[in-house]
Structure 1
Amino acid sequence: MEEQQQAGQAESKIGKKGFKDFVKLIAATNPPKLILIIALILTLIQTTAGLIVPLMTKGLIDGLTMSALNKSVIFLLLGAFVIQAIASGISIYMLNYAGQRVVATLRTKLWNKVLSLPMPYFDRNRTGDTMSRITNDTSQIMTLIADYLVSFVSNIVAVVGGVALLFYLDWVMSLIILSLVPLTLLILLPVGRKMYKISKKQQDEMAGLTSVLSQVIGEIRLVKAYGTEKQEAEAGDSRIGKMFAFGLQEARILALIGPLFTFVMTAVLVVILGVGGMRVASGLLSPGELVAFILLLFQVIMPMGQFTTLYSRLQKVVGATERIQAILAHEEEPRHSTAIAPKGNETITFNNLHFSYVTGEEVLHGINLTVPARKVTAIVGPSGSGKSTLFSLLEQFYLPESGSISYGGQAITDYSLASWRSKIGYVSQESPLMAGTIKENMTYGLGREASMDEIRQAAEMAYSSAFIDKLPQGYDTEVGERGIKLSGGQRQRIAIARALLRSPDILLLDEATSSLDSTSEHEVQQALSNLMEGRTTVVIAHRLSTVVDSDQIVVLEQGHVTGTGTHAELISNHPVYRELAQKQFVAQDGKPDSEPE
């Protein structure tokens, strides 16, 4: 029993904190206050007109005779209806405008926040979960604002004003009605807590389903190639089944609330008709007052029913707010306050660098390495040795646990992040492209308008102009999602053209030719030669034949630098490199101890 009380107190605290967080979240979006105030005033006018109608009806019924009608009352009644309709229509539009505006601002804040989050966030959180925060959770907030928030105030006015008028008409029957309010609250509060739990689980499942869908659809070729449609269908069905189960739980609650309030309303109406009929018969109440009392009663009961819906909706929004706040409160990438921008082409130095993705599982152990300016440095070593991690640290996707990386003697963390990354051109094995045209992909992230002459020149240097010119739409050809309409070699050359337009001082090549056939590899290598000219280049390669002419080769093993030198030097003094070279060159030539000239 004590545990249940503690759980109830905890839930109450969560509810209060969640509501405060929701108010703070809305305030942070700078909602259109004037529009909300006007909508509120119009809603109050609509509510007041609605309360006046029963009183006018009383006068109309009590003054009704067969010979004459009170025309002034009829005109006032019609005027009240017209005012109510106009005020309602305008306020509904304004509330929806305000709701859409708040949610658009919130989605913009969330989207900008997501783009500024560090890479570890994306390592830990599924894409679909983040998408669900921006779309589904914000939609919950919009529904609350547009449909319930301001009407909540008008409902309070309707209830308070309606109750006051009920007491004015007949205090005995009013007391009978008020005796049912505690019973309503006893039903409302536990139901609201239950709805909060269900809606939170439902939103989590929705995020999980979004993740499954985005992952499977994004890799649909893999799914079909390996015949895993049934397996993925079962995974999706499981998520959908759980959402269905939570939906049924929510439906059961709503199915309980609806008939319960209908029963209460019907019971109250029967009691009022019975008691009211006796009071009319005894002369304590006029027929018009009884009709007015019943009309006012409905105007009080309907808002009270909406309070139930509002409460359950608010519980849903509290859950959505918690998840949105978790993203907004997340630490962003370090945006260095200094205005220093790196200049020229300088030496890059790794100073006693230590790094772990997971605490206690170090990936790089005290890396000391110098990358000379305008030279080619190749990093070789077995898979999992930390080669790509060095690139990620150099691009400041992650920060080292200890040690530093300097550029021309200045720590790279002293430079503004945007200016540092603008110095780097990156060409990877996958060569990611965005959905859009070839031209849009070549100029992606350029930060300035590029002329067609510049674009064509970059394409020629990247050995991509020949295949682009053969396409029906040329540079306006759509590449498809992730560049699926182009071959691997074509994507690589578009990525190289993009790097050429960027004209970086530092070039990072991550297995840039490893997945290509010999013809494509030859063309891409020629394009890379143009790109590497006069730049500080760092190459990751598994195939030593592509890097034997590098100015410096670094051997990385299990997060340690175990050798540095030219190909000839490492062949003579590094056993692991020599063994690796012999295996690869034997495999290529079919003859032992064969090396490229």
Structure 2
Amino acid sequence: MWLSVKIKQQSKSDCGAASLASIAAHYGMRVPLSKIRLYSGTDSGGATLKGLVEAARRFGFLADGFKGERESLDKIPKPAIIHLKKDDGYLHYVVLTKSSASYFHIMDPLDGEIQRVPRESLLREWTGYLILLSPSVESKKLNFKEETQISLIQWIKGLLAKRWIVLSGGILLSVLHLVSSLAVAIFIKYLLDDIIPSGGGDQLAKVSILMALILLLSIVISITRSVININISIDTDRELITNYLRHLFRIPLPFFNTIKTGELTSRISDIYRIRNLIAETLPEAVVAVVTLLASLALLFLTESKLALLCLAFIPLYLTIYIIHDRLNKPLMKCSMERASRFQSVVIESLRSVSTIKNFSNERFAMARTSLKLEELNNTLSQTGKVSIYAGAAAEMVSKFIMLVILSSGGGAVIAGVLTIGELVSFYTIAALFTAPLQQIAFAISSVREGSVAATRYLDIMALEEECSGSGVRVRADNLVVSNLSYSYPGRERLFENISFKIGRGKILLLRGESGCGKSTLAAILMMHMRPECGKIEVNGKSIFDLDPVGWRGSVSIVPQNPDLFGNTIKECIMDGVESNDYREIYEELCMELELNRIFESLPNGDATHPGEGGSLLSRGEQQRIAFARAVARKPSFLILDEATSSMDIRSEKIIERAIMKLKKEGTLILIISHKSRSCLIADEIIDMR
């Protein structure tokens, strides 16, 4: 069976997601890669077979993974996903579409194209694992629009519709500017054929004044048009970037474990490409078409035979465009991907700069970064060269047109068919004819670039946001966890049948080996993830029936990584605290947690910037600030995830006193810790295995 839709992977780890997306689209369901990544548990290392099967089932497909023999690939229903191990050791998923006596036909998401591969070559790389899937009754019942990424064309139309008045004004001004350019050509003809031969000095003065006014008006029009374009660009950037960032903050937390930060920040560059498409490329293309038609009409009115000669060069422009587009299309996609990878490596290296220096890995880090930069530069160089060659070819065609016009027109003047004024006018108008031809040809490449950028942008925007309601806080009087089990998508079960209760003023200590799921359980309690089975009830009601924003307003967590966020340390503690007693709460915390001792050692006290993520503070100080941040919100339920792991004994005792005070106030407290001191204040201890 031939695959009707071919989808290219966006990053090295996306081959499994792209393969599944291609088969889903083949059956009429277009699913964003970002959603498949989330459901399959795809991370920087890729997706597991189990994860892809689980994702396919979530979309309503009948799917299962198998281990097959060599002859299996001929017998299985197609299309199917097969797992390969390339000669360089790289693990890769492709879609098997057809088999024959000598060849297999596969859709390789690496380039998004159907390839014919010799049987022995594919069988040598095949690991024996495959995924079979077909649409079920449930998948056919799914609302097509719910699981379908928004139409790219509809989305772009929506952006244009919001700005159609301003865009129309800009296009109208461009047309008026064109009229002024055509007026120059008419003026030249009138000057050479009528005014100079007749010796009309007064007439020349009048026409010159009129032309001066037209030229001044054209300058005003040009400035106004440029200002309009700037406003459209700023408005488009503001809307897209604001919507993107707002959407990122509303996406469920697990998604951020499936994608690198550089991949997310690279979407900002994509937004600039979309802006160029909306504010520049499309309006300029409309103006170019109008210019082309107007100049062509004037050319035919002036001299039809020369106009036909100009038309004869259009196929050459089309040929240049087609060749340029075919060469540029894969290079353009590759450059976007490599730019994203380069950003990811730079961000990762800068975040790990202390580790790099501690282990004298500067050369390794630089070599790794330089390799990604070299890959990006090579692609950009190839893209640039293709554009240069195409531009040179188009320029050569334009010059040949002018040469033909001058030589043929000169002959027409000698024969008395044309006047000198008509020839010069024709030459001037022909320049207006060739420029929009080039503009239209290369605008299509810009449209493609903008479309690729928009597809990447919409891939993130298609992710479902967390449901949010009024944000009303819920006071937790008791928390009951019953038979809770969880596994990450595509992974083995992390923990199962966890049960415990926490009442008001009670402290529960949760212990267990590293990797047993303690922090994952904390994330579930924060409503960032849902368990596979089991219940979590607060005041007799499931927390998943509550508004996530309201629940998180009632719960505070001190995570393993404090992640301090704010312009000052005070802001790190109090940002988001809504209380009439703001100052009193802050001063009480500073006294209770002895934070002033930390502030005294800083250049600007509590107004000091903490550094990125709190890097100017020690780890123990970061944890004390993070504890203050959690307590400042007056939570009814407090989760401490290794909250004192980097503190000295003195600091730990300060935190213990604060915990006991919260206990007396009736706060529910869950402590996740390896430290034996935590046992001294816990009312109950649970060991996770």
1:432 to partner: Cα distance:
2.2
- 1:428-476 superposed Cα distances (whole Å, 9 cap, x missing partner): 3332212421110111232457633321112112221333255442221
1:18 to partner: Cα distance:
12
Correspondence list, 1:107-506, <5 A = 107-133=241-267, 135-335=268-468, 341=472, 343-447=474-578, 451-469=582-600, 471-506=602-637
Distance 1:175 1:114 in 2: 55
1:549 to partner: Cα distance:
3.5
Instruction: Indicate how the Cα distance of structure 1 residues 101 and 415 shifts in structure 2: closer, same or farther if over 3 A, else same.
Output: same
Task: Give 3-state SS (helix, strand or coil) of 2:493's partner.
Answer: strand
User: Aligned match of 1:80 in 198, 206, 214?
Assistant: 214
Task: Give 3-state SS (helix, strand or coil) of 1:359's partner.
Answer: coil
- RMSD, matched Cα: 2.6
Equivalence for 2:688: 556
Equivalence for 2:121: none
Structure 2: any 5+ residue segments left out of the alignment?
8-106, 114-147
Tell whether the 8 Å contact from 2:471 to 2:549 is kept in structure 1 after alignment. no
TM-score, normalised to structure 2's length? 0.75
Instruction: Indicate how the Cα distance of structure 1 residues 204 and 442 shifts in structure 2: closer, same or farther if over 3 A, else same.
Output: same
Larger displacement relative to structure 2 (74-83 or 207-216): 74-83
Distance 2:520 2:394 in 1: 62
- 1:306-360 superposed Cα distances (whole Å, 9 cap, x missing partner): 123312221211111110000110122233x6x6956433221122222111235
TM-score, normalised to structure 1's length? 0.86
User: Aligned match of 2:224 in 86, 90, 95?
Assistant: 90
Tell whether the 8 Å contact from 1:50 to 1:80 is kept in structure 2 after alignment. no
Higher relative contact order (CA 8 A, sep 6+): 1
User: Aligned match of 1:39 in 156, 170, 176?
Assistant: 170
- 1:468-527 superposed Cα distances (whole Å, 9 cap, x missing partner): 255442221221111122222322222222222200000001111122233333333334
- 1:5-45 superposed Cα distances (whole Å, 9 cap, x missing partner): x99xx99x99xx99961561462587443322221221111
1:115 to partner: Cα distance:
0.7
Tell whether the 8 Å contact from 1:39 to 1:94 is kept in structure 2 after alignment. yes
Task: Give 3-state SS (helix, strand or coil) of 1:227's partner.
Answer: coil
Instruction: Indicate how the Cα distance of structure 1 residues 445 and 157 shifts in structure 2: closer, same or farther if over 3 A, else same.
Output: same
Instruction: Indicate how the Cα distance of structure 1 residues 383 and 266 shifts in structure 2: closer, same or farther if over 3 A, else same.
Output: same
2:668 matches 1:536: yes
Larger displacement relative to structure 2 (530-539 or 105-114): 530-539
Provide the identity percentage: 25
Larger displacement relative to structure 2 (350-359 or 379-388): 350-359
Instruction: Indicate how the Cα distance of structure 1 residues 160 and 72 shifts in structure 2: closer, same or farther if over 3 A, else same.
Output: same
Q: 1:288 is matched by which residue type in structure 2? A: G
Distance 1:28 1:262 in 2: 34
1:98 to partner: Cα distance:
0.4
1:531 to partner: Cα distance:
4.2
Q: 1:312 is matched by which residue type in structure 2? A: S
Distance 2:295 2:316 in 1: 19
Size of the aligned set, in residue pairs, is 546
Larger displacement relative to structure 2 (287-296 or 49-58): 49-58
Distance 1:30 1:523 in 2: 60
Larger displacement relative to structure 2 (142-151 or 255-264): 142-151
Distance 1:260 1:495 in 2: 62
Q: 2:361 is matched by which residue type in structure 1? A: T
1:400 to partner: Cα distance:
1.4
Distance 2:198 2:159 in 1: 62
Structure 1: any 5+ residue segments left out of the alignment?
558-597
